[in-house]
């Protein structure tokens, strides 16, 4: 046993083989041989006895664009918390591809495995410039010691410039992100997500606060991302969900109530009751 | 490929900052020694020994203030126990100074006086090597680093934040103070170390030694400033401020805050240790009161007064507050704590950006008028 192994045993953390202080980019390979990128199996999460998720089952195909809808408090955000390691489930399992057990990984490890997340309330670095926000998100070696001497190569700058154009913030690159409008902040956060090059994108209410025009552009962007990426989109805006056109899952009281295309779901008697009964 | 690190560090300074550092070094390394040695004490421009000791001491505090700004201003982690690292560095170097007394102590023993007084026959094991300047110089860096690393590792791993973290740092310092108060700990109890005679064989009270210590302190302060500027301008610095502003966002884009916090925390402790080591020979004493709760809180006040997250502000704050303090302790000693409290309240309520913020506001206002 090497000194390194002993150290690891004593302090009980996983250090990377190559060097200490964090995680190198992409250490875990994603296995989607069964064409499924995310499995949630019987996930239960309770807060002081209240079950925010109750035996939730969900399966997302590789390349799929899935919409999750459901009334307030249905557990949509909690589900994303479980997938990204913020909340540990009381029971059940969560797998990314065939092999990666999400319940065993920390938030940064999950990010490196290839899951990116956009928060319900736009969360960006307000004091940093728009450019720096994208720079920080960009896939690269993110260990603490390497960031000391990290520098931007020309192709890194090109990538950031491309993303700036895509999210239509190329005129705002040097402004502090805190000065952006709400809709622009949403776009910036989406841009940060793209810089991370995740395999699976979790988007919690991405078009809240956007104009109709911005909403439709976002829908176009997401549709164009599907296939190469897998997307899970939580949204209340039905026009947006319709524009995305994917399969829809209805969450209610912490479990799946209905699943199918939007028309079928909207005509489902139980779904109507849940939404009208409130 | 890329330039050597030292050039990159200097290029992190803008022209004004470079000029400022150069001017500071010219005064500290050139002007002050000349005015001290060449002019007669009667001259109005003579720099007295008192002034050199005072300014040297304040420069040590300024290094501590910079260290505090790195973790508090940029990392968002408020330590109310930074005195412990300062004191550890001071005690480590103090051991060497005690050994340099040799047989010139009041008991004419090979052992430091306090050990003779305790009837100890030989040095405790942890004093091994304290005769060696190099060994002690190593201790000055390693001991604070080790304490900070171990403490920080468990605190940051448990995700202890905000006021909870501040309280724990204070408890740590307080516990250390109680430990150092005990005679059996082997660091001179409540008297600590004092009555130093020599450093590296030179008389510690001679003008030349004082000037060298003063110059070294000025150099370390300038170097710390340049290094800190470079650090906060690096990508590491951007991640650090990102952690301060939105820690969960940082985690979900794949950085582990633990290592960033731990690095800056340990670095900050090391800087304090070095400052403490420079402080002890100039002031001539180190005792457990350096680890008192009030001392550590004062460090935070210097930073707040000068302006956190600016690097230059904390240096200004350390000078302003400590010059005021030395004036008060001569003229109105009983009012100092009231003044300090008042200053803190005024700054927190009226000047959230500190003196540096005030300076920028005034300049903007002037720019708008003309
Ligand atoms: N940390 C927590 N502690 C206690 N209760 C919580 C916590 N997080 C979520 N909950 C509760 O769990 C339930 C599910 O919350 P969640 O945020 O997942 O709902 P949601 O479907 O995202 O709702 P919305 O549409 O309003 O965003 C809510 O009743 C909420 O109050
Ligand atoms: Mg939600």
| Chain A nearest CA to B248, separation (Å) | 9
The residue ranking higher by pLDDT, B367 or A189, is: A189
Give Cα separations from A109 to A18, A85, B153, B263 (angstroms): 15, 9, 18, 19
CA B33 to chain CA mean position, Å: 23
Does pLDDT of A76 surpass 50? yes
Does pLDDT of B287 surpass 80? yes
| DSSP conformational letter for B190 | G
Among the bound ligands, name the one nearest to the CA of residue A204: 2
| Pocket of ligand 1 contains residue A254 by CB under 6 Å | no
**Per-residue confidence at A17, pLDDT binned at 50, 70, 90?**
very low
| DSSP conformational letter for A209 | T
Neighbour-count burial for A207-216, b at 16+ CB within 10 Å, e otherwise: bbbbeeebbe
Give Cα separations from B143 to A137, A157, B136, B169, B360 (angstroms): 36, 42, 10, 16, 39
**Per-residue confidence at A8, pLDDT binned at 50, 70, 90?**
low
Nearest-atom number in ligand 1 for the CA of A78 is 18
Q: A interface toward B at CB cutoff 8 Å?
A: 11, 13, 20-23, 25, 84, 86, 106-108, 111-112, 116-117, 119, 123-128, 132, 135-137, 139, 142-145, 147-151, 192, 196
Q: How far apart are CA A190 and CA A214, in angstroms?
A: 13
Among the bound ligands, name the one nearest to the CA of residue A88: 1
What is the per-residue pLDDT across B34-77, written as a single tens digit (0 to 9) for each?
Answer: 999 888 888 888 889 999 999 999 999 999 999 999 999 999 99
Question: Is A218 in a helix, a strand, or coil?
Answer: helix
| Chain A nearest CA to B76, separation (Å) | 13
| DSSP conformational letter for B31 | I
- Just give the CATH number of A63-88+104-276: 3.40.50.300
Does pLDDT of B23 surpass 60? yes
What pLDDT sits at residue A22?
56
Q: Which helix (H) or strand (E) holds B277?
A: helix B257-283
Nearest-atom number in ligand 1 for the CA of A70 is 21
Return the percentage of chain B with pLDDT > 90, whole number.
78
Is there a contact between A196 and B239 if contact means CB atoms under 8 Å apart?
Answer: no
Residue carrying the six token digits 């304290």:
B130
What pLDDT sits at residue A20?
47
Mean pLDDT of B130-148: 97
Q: How far apart are CA B322 and CA B328, in angstroms?
A: 9
Does pLDDT of A237 surpass 80? yes
Does pLDDT of A23 surpass 70? no
Does pLDDT of A89 surpass 50? yes
What is the per-residue pLDDT across B210-226, written as a single tens digit (0 to 9) for each?
Answer: 999 999 999 999 999 99
Q: Provide the token pair at B353.
A: 């950006």
| Pocket of ligand 1 contains residue A120 by CB under 6 Å | yes
State whether ipTM is beyond 0.85. yes
- Closest-CA residue, ligand 1 atom 28, reads A73
What pLDDT sits at residue B10?
80
Q: What count of Cα atoms within 13 Å lies in the side-chain half-sphere of residue B24?
A: 22
User: Do A217 and A173 meet the contact criterion of CB atoms below 8 Å apart?
Assistant: no
Listed ranges A253-257, B60-64, B110-114, B327-331; the one with the highest mean pLDDT: B60-64
Bridge partner residues of A43 (DSSP): A56
User: Do B70 and B224 meet the contact criterion of CB atoms below 8 Å apart?
Assistant: no
What pLDDT sits at residue B337?
86
What pLDDT sits at residue B365?
87
CB within 8 Å of A149: residues ≥ 6 apart: B5, B234
Please give the interface size between A and B, counted as residue pairs whose CB atoms are below 8 Å apart. Answer: 98
| Pocket of ligand 1 contains residue A22 by CB under 6 Å | no
**Per-residue confidence at A12, pLDDT binned at 50, 70, 90?**
very low
What is the per-residue pLDDT across A108-132, written as a single tens digit (0 to 9) for each?
Answer: 999 999 999 999 888 999 999 999 9
Does pLDDT of A13 surpass 70? no
Does pLDDT of A26 surpass 50? no
| DSSP conformational letter for B47 | P
Is there a contact between B248 and A142 if contact means CB atoms under 8 Å apart?
Answer: no
| Chain B nearest CA to A265, separation (Å) | 32
Query: Strand runs (DSSP E) across B209-300, as ranges?
Result: 285-286
What is the per-residue pLDDT across B204-263, written as a single tens digit (0 to 9) for each?
Answer: 999 999 999 999 999 999 999 999 999 999 999 999 999 999 999 999 999 999 999 999
Is there a contact between B238 and A86 if contact means CB atoms under 8 Å apart?
Answer: no
Among A21, A128, A196, the residue with its CB nearest the CB of B254 is A196
Is there a contact between A151 and B2 if contact means CB atoms under 8 Å apart?
Answer: yes
Return the percentage of chain A with pLDDT > 70, whole number.
89
Nearest by Cα to B187 from B109, B120, B289, B94: B94
| DSSP conformational letter for B189 | G
| Pocket of ligand 1 contains residue A35 by CB under 6 Å | no
* Per-domain residue ranges of chain A: 63-88+104-276
| Pocket of ligand 1 contains residue A78 by CB under 6 Å | yes
- Predicted TM-score of the model (pTM): 0.91
Of A78, A86, A122, A251, the residue with max ligand 1 atoms within 8 A of its CB, to mutate for a pocket test, comes to A78
What pLDDT sits at residue A19?
43
Of A56, A76, A234, A252, the residue with max ligand 1 atoms within 8 A of its CB, to mutate for a pocket test, comes to A76
What pLDDT sits at residue B169?
96
What pLDDT sits at residue A197?
92
**Per-residue confidence at A232, pLDDT binned at 50, 70, 90?**
very high
* Per-domain residue ranges of chain B: 5-304
B292, with CB counted inside 10 A (0-12, 13-18, 19+), is middle
Q: How far apart are CA A243 and CA A215, in angstroms?
A: 10
Nearest-atom number in ligand 1 for the CA of A76 is 21
What pLDDT sits at residue B368?
76
The residue ranking higher by pLDDT, B191 or A278, is: B191
């Amino acid at each position: 046993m090497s000194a390194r192994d002993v150290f690891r045993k004593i302090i009980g953390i996983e250090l990377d083989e190559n060097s200490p202080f964090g995680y190198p980019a992409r250490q875990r390979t994603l296995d989607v041989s069964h064409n499924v990128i995310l499995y949630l199996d019987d996930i239960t999460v309770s807060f002081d006895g209240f079950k925010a998720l109750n035996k939730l089952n969900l399966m997302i195909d590789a390349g799929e664009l899935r919409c999750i809808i459901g009334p307030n408090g249905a557990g949509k955000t909690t589900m994303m918390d479980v997938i990204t390691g913020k909340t540990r489930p009381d029971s059940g399992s969560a797998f990314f591809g065939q092999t990666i057990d999400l319940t065993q990984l920390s938030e940064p490890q999950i990010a490196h495995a290839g899951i990116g997340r956009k928060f319900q309330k736009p969360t960006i670095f307000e004091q940093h410039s728009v450019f720096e926000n994208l720079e920080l998100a960009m896939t690269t070696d993110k260990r603490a010691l390497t960031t000391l001497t990290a520098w931007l190569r020309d192709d890194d700058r090109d990538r950031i410039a491309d993303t700036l154009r895509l999210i239509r913030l190329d005129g705002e690159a040097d402004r502090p992100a805190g000065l952006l409008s709400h809709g622009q902040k949403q776009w910036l956060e989406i841009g940060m997500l793209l810089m991370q090059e995740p395999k699976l994108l979790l988007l919690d209410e991405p078009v809240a606060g956007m104009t109709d025009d911005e909403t439709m552009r976002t829908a176009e962007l997401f549709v164009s991302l599907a296939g190469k990426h897998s997307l899970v989109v939580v949204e209340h805006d039905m026009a947006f969900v319709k524009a995305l056109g994917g399969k829809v899952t209805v969450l209610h009281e912490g479990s799946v109530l209905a699943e199918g295309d939007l028309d079928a779901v909207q005509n489902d008697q139980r779904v109507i009751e849940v939404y009208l009964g409130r | 490929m890329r330039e050597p690190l030292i050039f990159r560090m200097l290029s992190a300074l803008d022209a004004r900052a470079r000029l400022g550092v150069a001017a500071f070094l010219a005064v500290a390394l050139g002007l002050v020694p000349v005015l001290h040695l060449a002019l007669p004490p009667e001259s109005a421009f003579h720099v007295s020994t008192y002034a050199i000791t005072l300014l040297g001491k304040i420069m040590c505090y300024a290094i501590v203030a910079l260290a505090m700004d790195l973790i508090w201003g940029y990392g968002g982690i408020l330590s109310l126990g930074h005195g412990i690292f300062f004191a550890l560095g001071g005690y480590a170097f103090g051991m060497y100074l005690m050994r340099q007394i040799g047989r010139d102590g009041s008991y004419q023993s090979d052992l430091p006086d306090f050990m003779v007084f305790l009837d100890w026959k030989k040095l405790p094991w942890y004093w091994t090597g304290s005769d060696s300047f190099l060994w002690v110089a190593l201790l000055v860096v390693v001991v604070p680093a080790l304490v900070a690393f171990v403490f920080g590792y468990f605190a940051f791993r448990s995700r202890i934040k905000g006021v909870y973290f501040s309280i724990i740092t204070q408890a740590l310092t307080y516990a250390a103070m109680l430990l150092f108060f005990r005679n059996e700990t082997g660091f001179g109890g409540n008297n600590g170390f004092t009555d130093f005679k020599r450093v590296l064989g030179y008389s510690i009270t001679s003008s030349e030694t004082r000037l060298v210590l003063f110059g070294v302190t000025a150099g370390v302060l300038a170097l710390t400033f340049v290094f800190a500027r470079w650090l906060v301008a690096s990508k590491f610095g951007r991640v650090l401020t990102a952690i301060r502003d939105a820690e969960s966002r940082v985690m979900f884009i794949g950085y582990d805050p633990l290592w960033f916090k731990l690095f800056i925390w340990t670095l900050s402790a090391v800087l304090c240790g070095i400052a403490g080591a420079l402080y002890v020979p100039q002031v001539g004493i180190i005792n457990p009161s350096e680890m008192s709760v009030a001392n550590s809180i004062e460090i935070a006040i210097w930073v707040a007064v000068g302006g956190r997250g600016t690097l230059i502000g904390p240096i200004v704050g350390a000078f302003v507050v400590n010059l005021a303090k030395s004036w008060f302790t001569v003229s109105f000693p009983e009012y100092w704590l009231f003044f300090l409290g008042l200053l803190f309240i005024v700054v927190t309520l009226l000047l959230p950006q500190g003196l540096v913020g005030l300076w920028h506001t005034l300049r903007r206002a002037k720019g708008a008028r003309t």
